[in-house]
C-alpha cells in the first residue's frame, strides 16, 4: 500500500505505539465480528480480496519484501484499523496513503484489518549477539508496554517480526523528535538510546516470532 519513497504506512507500526496510555478506543464493530466465528471467517476472506492492492508494498499475506515497509501480518486488528482511519481522515499525512485509503469503505477497512491480523508473521535471523544486546535494552525500556513477546495489544502495536530497517527508522525518529507525531512516553524512553542501541533493539524485535 506504499512505495519505498513514502515514509508512513497503513499503520506506521511504531509511530503511535510505544506508550502505555491507549491511543484509541477498541472498535465495537470489529470486536463484534471477532466474537462471531462465521462472521470473522467471511470478513477475513473479504479483507483478503480488498487488500490485493496492498501486495506490491506490504507483500503477500502482509509480509513485506521491502525492508523499509512494515509487515502487517499478525498486527493487532484494532491498531491497523485505527491507523487506516487516521490516514483516511488526514490525521496522518501521506498523499499516496490518503488517496488509496479514501477509496475504502468502513467495512473494507475493518475486513482488511481482520485479514492481516489473521496472517502469520515471519521473523528474521539477525546477528545473534546484536539481538541479545537488544533484548536487554528492550526489557528495560519497552517490555512494560509492548509485552514480553513484543506483541502489544488492541491499542499498542505488535513490534515483533518487524523489519530492522523500518524499526531503526521509526525509533530514531522518536528519539530525534523528527516524526510526524510525538508521544511523551516514547520520547522519554528513546532519549538515552545511542544508534547502536537502536540497531540492537531492532535486531531483537526482528528475531521474535
Q: What is the pLDDT of residue 24?
A: 53
Whole-structure pTM value: 0.85
CA quadruple 76, 81, 87, 92: dihedral positive or negative? Answer: negative
pLDDT value of position 139: 97
Q: What is the mean pLDDT of the chain?
A: 87
* Domains of the chain and CATH, by start: 28-117 (1.10.760.10), 128-207 (1.10.760.10)
Residue 161, pLDDT > 50, answer yes
Confidence class of residue 185 from pLDDT cuts 50, 70 and 90? confident
User: pLDDT, tens digit, for every residue of 41-90?
Assistant: 999 999 999 998 888 889 989 999 899 999 999 999 999 999 999 888 88
Q: Which one, of 149, 115, 156, 150, lies nearest residue 33 by Cα?
A: 115
Q: Which one is predicted more confidently, 135 or 186?
A: 135
Q: Is the separation of the CB atoms in 97 and 10 below 8 Å?
A: yes
Query: Are the beta carbons of 4 and 169 closer than 8 angstroms?
Result: no
Task: Please tell me the distance from the alpha carbon of residue 85 to that of residue 163, in angstroms, as a whole number.
Answer: 24
Q: What share of the chain is helix, strand, coil (3-state, %, to 5)?
A: 55, 0, 45
Q: Which ranges of 18-163 would DSSP assign to H, the alpha helix?
A: 28-34, 37-50, 55-58, 77-89, 95-101, 106-117, 128-141, 143-146
Amino acid at each position: 500500500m506504499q512505495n519505498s519513497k513514502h515514509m508512513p504506512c497503513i499503520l506506521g507500526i511504531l509511530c503511535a505505539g510505544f506508550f502505555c496510555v491507549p491511543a484509541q478506543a477498541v472498535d465495537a464493530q470489529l470486536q463484534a465480528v471477532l466474537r462471531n466465528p462465521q462472521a470473522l471467517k467471511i470478513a477475513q476472506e473479504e479483507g483478503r480480496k480488498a487488500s490485493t492492492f496492498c501486495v506490491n508494498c506490504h507483500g503477500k499475506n502482509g509480509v513485506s519484501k521491502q525492508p523499509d515497509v512494515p509487515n502487517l501480518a499478525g498486527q493487532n486488528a484494532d491498531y491497523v484499523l485505527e491507523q487506516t482511519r487516521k490516514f483516511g481522515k488526514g490525521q496522518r499525512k501521506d498523499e499516496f496513503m490518503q488517496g488509496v485509503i479514501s477509496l475504502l469503505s468502513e467495512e473494507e477497512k475493518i475486513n482488511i484489518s481482520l485479514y492481516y491480523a489473521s496472517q502469520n508473521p515471519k521473523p528474521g535471523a539477525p546477528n545473534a549477539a546484536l539481538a541479545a544486546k537488544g533484548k536487554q535494552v528492550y526489557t528495560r525500556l519497552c517490555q512494560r508496554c509492548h509485552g514480553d513477546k513484543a506483541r502489544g495489544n488492541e491499542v499498542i502495536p505488535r513490534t515483533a517480526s518487524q523489519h530492522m530497517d523500518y524499526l531503526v527508522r521509526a525509533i530514531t525518529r522518536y528519539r530525534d523528535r523528527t516524526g510526524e507525531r510525538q508521544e511523551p512516553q516514547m520520547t522519554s524512553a528513546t532519549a538515552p538510546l545511542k544508534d547502536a542501541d537502536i540497531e540492537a533493539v531492532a535486531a531483537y524485535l526482528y528475531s521474535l516470532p
